[in-house]
Structure 1
Amino acid sequence: MSISRHFVLAAGGTGGHMIPAYAVAKELTARGHHVALVTDARGAKIPGIFADMQVHVLPAGRLQGGPVGWLRGGKAILAGRAMAMRLYETFQPTAVVGFGGYPALPALLGAISMKIPTALHEQNAVLGRVNRLLAGKVDAIATAYPIVGKLADKHAGKVHLIGNPVRAEVMALRDEEFPPLTDESVFRLLVTGGSQGATVLSSVVPDGLALLPVALRRRLQVTQQCRPDDIEKVRATYADLEIPADLSTYIEDMAEKLNWAHLVIARAGASTIAELTTAGRPAILIPLPSAMDDHQTANVREMVEAGGARSIPQARFTPVELAKQLQKMAMEPGALANAAKRARACGRPYAARDMADLLESIGQAPIMNDPLRTTPPAPSTLTLQGVPA
């Protein structure tokens, strides 16, 4: 018989941290557990996720800005830690897991102080700053890539290759066929800059599409996410080009749009790549050059080497370069369908399940990830702090 437990998930306020946390939260609740989210004000406002779960907003100071900034950030972290500990006294979590971002820091520090089992999940191919600070103190580290930069060798014994959890509706695309594409059919293009948007995509993509041969351009249909400041200009450009375009500032039905698309042009955030490789969609990826430790460039490496994507550094991401790459992918027979298969081969679609397994057995025997298993595991006979699993 399974036993309901309490888990706290702590995540920073961007989609890259929040979406994997949400996917794991849904898996845990489906198993009968109770889940609470700790985040910041930004995370609490992201639409479409955590609406049906406990959400606690804690102060999340940043250790930056010189001595004055460090002092201010330190005070906020200590205040958040105290609030987290009060939450744990009443919620009594079995484990606390951090998904990165500064809001995870006080939550995990509170759990460590109270000797509650802890874990980290790193979405990127380079260990983030907060996860670096805590890697030596937690009980388990889950990674999304086989090789993770800035992860010390001394922590290898508690590292589990999990992948990036995706939402169930994206997972369902795993069983869908790549949409048919012929020389005469509509060519569907999805453009997204992640939860924060990307002005460079609004600047370059419409002008790049304008350079395509007329026969290809007339087949285009575009769905694009734009920043609020960019959307009307982009709309006018597509109207002048007579390219049908559905524009919005945030794409809530991402799974539906992925299922619809033949090709995706996007930033190289970890959640974006996880969704592309789960669904099996080819992409042109533009890593964010200001990302800490250039982690988006590291994120694309596996997918590019497999042949599922092309990566263009932002400094070389021009309308001419985009048009050239698009023509290569769109006009070679079978190229996009082949790239879709290669992208899918990089996917780790059971990441949410495996992360839930890890949390249920934290501090016990290591999880054995079976990529062929498609059903939930049988109830475990392991124990956690004396409580049967």
Structure 2
Amino acid sequence: MTASSRHFVLAAGGTGGHLTPAFALAHELERRGHHVALITDERGAAIPGKPDFLTTHVLPAGRFGKNPLKWIGGIMAVLKGRSMAKRVYENFNPSAVIGFGGYPALPALLGAQAMNIPTVIHEQNAVLGRVNRLMAGRVDAIALSYPAVDRLKAKYEDKTVLVGNPVRPGVLALRDEPFPAFTEDGLFRVLVTGGSQGARVLSEVVPDGLSMLAPALRARLQVTQQCRPEDLEAVRARYAGHDIPAELGSYFEDMAARLADAHLFIGRAGASTIAELTAVGRPAILVPLPIATDDHQAANVREVVKAGGARSIRQHNFTAKELAKQINAMAQRPETLANAAHGAWNCGRPDAAKDLADLIDSFGGADMMDVIRVGSSEKRSAEQVTQAATRETAE
């Protein structure tokens, strides 16, 4: 698609789950010759992996907990952030503002709407997040990562577009690489991670679970595990006690390369994690975070589990014995693991960044976006999406 250079603003909360797809979209828009800026909070401004070309603006983000007495402070912060966002737009003149969820996206989107700038939200999870729920009726388009998204009202269907969850270019480059050879006498490489800071339950359960594998499988283990810094020595001692070779760290810069080599992934079910697993095609045992808002990680696993690409264990059932049982079932025969890898790969949406950029490109310049999947089978253009949003606003 060719289009004249324009300006776009991405707004996202300060977590990797919000910012990873925002960064992927920024790369695609910059590749097309557009100028991109980011609105986030202090955490987001400091997060690793931010593109060098991405100018960042830090806005106050009001938080709204269960205590109504604290809402006044949250409202004041949102209003201040809205005013600051409007000043950014006056100088930057964006063709559209794209929200990726998280509290910093709220004042950014409200500021854009006050200035009649088109707005789009992208939902990474299989449950519509709080800020996206609040803004769904007011934005011009809603980009989804899953065909079925909980807490999304049916009346917004006409402006929803299924694009997937954009992943890092380095991970996406692995999609056409074959699943690493897994033979009856070769290494069995397991990658364990609980997100940017690891997860204590994985540190406590996984070493013992791997020690209970069938002897022939256990003897071939080669483990890489990301842990919390304070857990490293205890986990190292657990693996040493089981005589299982394991490389441990609190952060791995070359995570894409480690995912490329892995035969099995064990970890949480965050949106970016699942997007990367399905982009590459790696079997997984997923343990949804039980305290995730609206239990969205449990919803995130539905599609890949149904496709046979992963198994899900709720945390209260995540014991060493259950983990060993599931791994034995997946890995005792090479073809079983390879089939699971193919099931995960089939759930991948490798064109997510491109499709989302096509949608964004349709605001403020292009006549029509490329055809993008909507719902389970329909196809709509961004022009139709925008018309539907206009009708919704009028109603």
Q: Please tell me the residue identity of whatever aligns with 2:217.
A: L
Corresponding residue for 1:57? Answer: 58
Check whether the contact 1:96–1:111 (CA below 8 A) recurs between aligned residues.
yes
* Deviation sequence 1:258-311 (CA, Å, 0-9, x none): 101000001011111110111000000111111111111111001001100000
1:267-282 equivalences under 5 Å are 267-282=268-283
Corresponding residue for 1:356? Answer: 357
236-245 or 199-208: bigger deviation: 236-245
205-214 or 186-195: bigger deviation: 205-214
- Identity rate, percent: 64
Quote the Cα distance in structure 1 between the aligned partners of 2:373 and 2:250.
38
Quote the Cα distance in structure 2 between the aligned partners of 1:113 and 1:246.
52
Match of 1:369 among 363, 369, 372: 372
Quote the Cα distance in structure 2 between the aligned partners of 1:122 and 1:206.
34
Corresponding residue for 1:231? Answer: 232
Quote the Cα distance in structure 1 between the aligned partners of 2:383 and 2:121.
24
Corresponding residue for 1:31? Answer: 32
Check whether the contact 2:136–2:142 (CA below 8 A) recurs between aligned residues.
yes
Corresponding residue for 1:183? Answer: 184
Matched, 1:220 2:213: no
* Deviation sequence 1:107-149 (CA, Å, 0-9, x none): 1111111110100000011100000000011000000111111
247-256 or 351-360: bigger deviation: 247-256
Quote the Cα distance in structure 1 between the aligned partners of 2:312 and 2:319.
13
Matched, 1:324 2:353: no
1:191-270 equivalences under 5 Å are 191-270=192-271
Report deviation, 1:354.
0.3
Quote the Cα distance in structure 1 between the aligned partners of 2:175 and 2:136.
32
30-39 or 354-363: bigger deviation: 354-363
1:88-127 equivalences under 5 Å are 88-127=89-128
Q: How many residues align?
A: 375
Check whether the contact 1:139–1:362 (CA below 8 A) recurs between aligned residues.
no
Quote the Cα distance in structure 1 between the aligned partners of 2:292 and 2:197.
13
Change beyond 3 A, Cα 1:280–1:243: same
* Deviation sequence 1:326-365 (CA, Å, 0-9, x none): 1111112311111001110011110000000000103865
* Deviation sequence 1:173-211 (CA, Å, 0-9, x none): 111000001111110001111224211111110111121
354-363 or 142-151: bigger deviation: 354-363
Corresponding residue for 1:286? Answer: 287
Query: Aligned to 1:229, what secondary structure does the other structure show?
Result: helix
TM-score, scaled to structure 2 = 0.91
Check whether the contact 1:94–1:117 (CA below 8 A) recurs between aligned residues.
yes
Corresponding residue for 1:387? Answer: none
Quote the Cα distance in structure 2 between the aligned partners of 1:319 and 1:331.
17
Q: Please tell me the residue identity of whatever aligns with 2:161.
A: H
Query: Aligned to 1:44, what secondary structure does the other structure show?
Result: helix
Report deviation, 1:367.
4.7
Check whether the contact 1:190–1:261 (CA below 8 A) recurs between aligned residues.
yes
Corresponding residue for 1:375? Answer: none
1:29-178 equivalences under 5 Å are 29-178=30-179
Check whether the contact 2:10–2:98 (CA below 8 A) recurs between aligned residues.
yes
Change beyond 3 A, Cα 1:125–1:180: same
Q: Please tell me the residue identity of whatever aligns with 2:210.
A: L
Quote the Cα distance in structure 1 between the aligned partners of 2:383 and 2:315.
51
Q: Please tell me the residue identity of whatever aligns with 2:339.
A: N
Check whether the contact 1:29–1:35 (CA below 8 A) recurs between aligned residues.
yes
Query: Aligned to 2:179, what secondary structure does the other structure show?
Result: coil
Quote the Cα distance in structure 2 between the aligned partners of 1:270 and 1:356.
19
Report deviation, 1:49.
2.5
Corresponding residue for 2:392? Answer: none
Query: Aligned to 2:122, what secondary structure does the other structure show?
Result: strand
TM-score, scaled to structure 1 = 0.92
- Please list every run of 5 or more consecutive structure 1 residues that lacks an aligned counterpart in the other structure: 372-379, 385-389
Query: Aligned to 1:8, what secondary structure does the other structure show?
Result: strand
Change beyond 3 A, Cα 1:381–1:79: closer
Corresponding residue for 1:374? Answer: none
Change beyond 3 A, Cα 1:381–1:152: closer
